[in-house]
């Protein structure tokens, strides 16, 4: 009962709970005079309007601590929400924060506003990187590189047709409708860059139709030839299923695939099999959807990480990479980020690279900012270059 819990909690040094229970049992939890409230994976309270966030904010405590590797995943309002838990009112109201910091930084890359925000936040942030040798002395290297791929003629034809059709609609649209059209166009172009079969959804054959897929097969063949293991991330569950089918046919063996619909017990079995190295080594290739496999998994048997398609948020990509690059890893980790040259993939990648200094001041980089581009900027972004198509 609630009374029994309160009595036991008052006698305990530490009480461990979950975010879901904190919301459900808020009234009971508020009856305890907590010395401190510590949030692990504090991005769980990134939505300030969520009932879960509001319930946790109301817990009485002498001190509060938030632990997270990603204080900002998509937008700066997430940082405001975490700071509102830690030090209510310190960054002002949500409206004033949006006016003074979020809008200038996210929309206009305002360096002065970013510096002011960093100065405000820094006294309350203790940052620890596992790449710092004073923190972890024996962690191997993480070696990142871009893998530039070309489109097949079929991909180029589909890409150009989508650009021409979508830009006509974008030219005539405004407001929310325009943003929706832009995001829809970006999604379709990214699917075409992956494989025509993903875009068309027609169950057609896979070989010899995608520059990316062909390059992935070549690189995985090299990985398997030296008895190493690989994680392959895609943001699309549909593309994950196509990759699984293609790679199983190519290599004649089982390929694991984890996505949001995978039952928890099956997920745990997959992870255990992949990590096994003694009696019967498990399948050497593990495909994961970015959202389902990007957080909380330990997959250190892999020392190659492939990002087959890109999520335009470096924090989310880094979380996925860290399934392999973490404590317990004994080999250098190679991170391969696939980019179709001469397409929107390369141009958005360049834009994000140019904002890296700003990202270091905890700026999110989701796709939303692309919808704010004017039509000329958008046309330049998605125009297909001649060098995009392979021979």
The CATH number assigned to the domain holding 100 equals: 3.40.50.10810
Q: What would the mean pLDDT of 339-368 be, rounded to a whole number? A: 70
What gap in Å lies between CA 95 and CA 86, rounded to an integer? 18
pLDDT in tens, 306-351: 999 988 777 788 889 999 998 888 899 999 999 999 999 998 888 7
Same-domain status, 350 and 381: yes
CB of 145 closer than 8 Å to CB of 137: no
Does the residue 136 lie in any domain?
Answer: no
Range of the domain at 303: 142-388
CATH number at residue 353: 3.40.50.300
Q: Rounded CA gap, 37 and 31, in Å?
A: 14
Distances in Å between the Cα of 32 and the Cα atoms of 59, 130, 250 are: 9, 35, 59
Give a yes or no: residue 193 inside a domain. Answer: yes
Q: Is residue 302 part of a domain?
A: yes
Specify whether the CB–CB gap between 195 and 213 falls below 8 A: yes
pTM: 0.76
Residue 294 in any domain: the answer is yes
Q: Give the position of tokens 């829809």.
A: 184
Distance CA 136, CA 140 (A): 10
Q: Rounded distance, CA 55 to CA 31, Å?
A: 13
Which residue has tokens 């650009």? 163
Q: Do residue 221 and residue 157 come from a single domain?
A: yes
Same domain, 290 and 218: yes
Q: Binning pLDDT at 50, 70 and 90, where does residue 364 land?
A: very low
**pLDDT band at 279, cuts 50/70/90?**
low
Give burial (CB, 10 Å; 0-12/13-18/19+) of 22. buried
* Structure-model confidence comparison of residues 389 and 134, the more confident one: 389
Helix axes 175-194, 153-172, angle to 10 degrees: 180
Question: Is residue 201 packed enough to be buried (19+ CB in 10 Å), middle (13-18) or exposed (0-12)?
Answer: exposed
Domains of the chain: total: 2
């Amino acid at each position: 009962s609630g009374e029994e819990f309160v009595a036991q909690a008052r006698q305990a040094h530490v009480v461990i709970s979950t975010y879901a229970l904190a919301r459900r049992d808020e009234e009971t939890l508020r009856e305890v005079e907590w010395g401190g409230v510590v949030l692990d994976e504090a991005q769980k309270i990134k939505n300030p309007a969520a009932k879960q966030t509001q319930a946790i904010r109301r817990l009485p405590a002498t001190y509060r601590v938030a632990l997270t590797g990603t204080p900002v995943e998509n937008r700066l309002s997430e940082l405001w929400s975490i700071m509102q838990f830690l030090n209510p009112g310190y960054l002002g109201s949500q409206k004033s924060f949006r006016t003074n910091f979020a809008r200038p930084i996210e929309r206009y890359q305002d360096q002065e506003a970013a510096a002011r925000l960093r100065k405000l936040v820094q006294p309350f942030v203790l940052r620890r990187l596992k790449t710092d040798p004073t923190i972890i002395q024996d962690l191997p290297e993480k070696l990142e590189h871009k893998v530039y791929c070309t489109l097949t003629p079929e991909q180029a034809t589909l890409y150009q047709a989508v650009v021409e059709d979508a830009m006509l609609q974008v030219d005539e649209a405004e407001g929310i409708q325009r943003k929706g059209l832009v995001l829809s166009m970006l999604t379709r172009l990214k699917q075409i860059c992956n494989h025509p079969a993903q875009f068309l959804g027609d169950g057609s054959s896979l070989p010899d139709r995608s520059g990316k897929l062909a390059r992935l097969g070549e690189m995985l063949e090299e990985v398997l030839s030296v008895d190493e293991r690989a994680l392959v991330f895609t943001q699309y569950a549909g593309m994950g299923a196509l990759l699984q089918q293609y790679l199983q046919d190519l290599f004649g063996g089982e390929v694991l695939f984890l996505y949001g619909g995978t039952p928890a017990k099956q997920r745990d079995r997959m992870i255990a099999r992949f990590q096994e190295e003694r009696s019967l080594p498990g399948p050497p290739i593990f495909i994961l959807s970015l959202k389902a496999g990007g957080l909380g998994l330990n997959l250190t048997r892999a020392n190659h990480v492939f990002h087959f398609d890109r999520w335009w948020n470096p924090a989310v990509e880094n979380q996925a990479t860290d399934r392999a690059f973490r404590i317990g890893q004994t080999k250098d980790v190679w991170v391969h980020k696939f980019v179709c040259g001469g397409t929107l993939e390369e141009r958005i990648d360049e834009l994000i690279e140019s904002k890296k200094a700003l990202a270091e001041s905890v700026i999110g980089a989701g796709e939303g900012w692309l919808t704010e581009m004017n039509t000329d900027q958008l046309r330049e972004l998605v125009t297909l270059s001649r060098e995009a198509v392979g021979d």
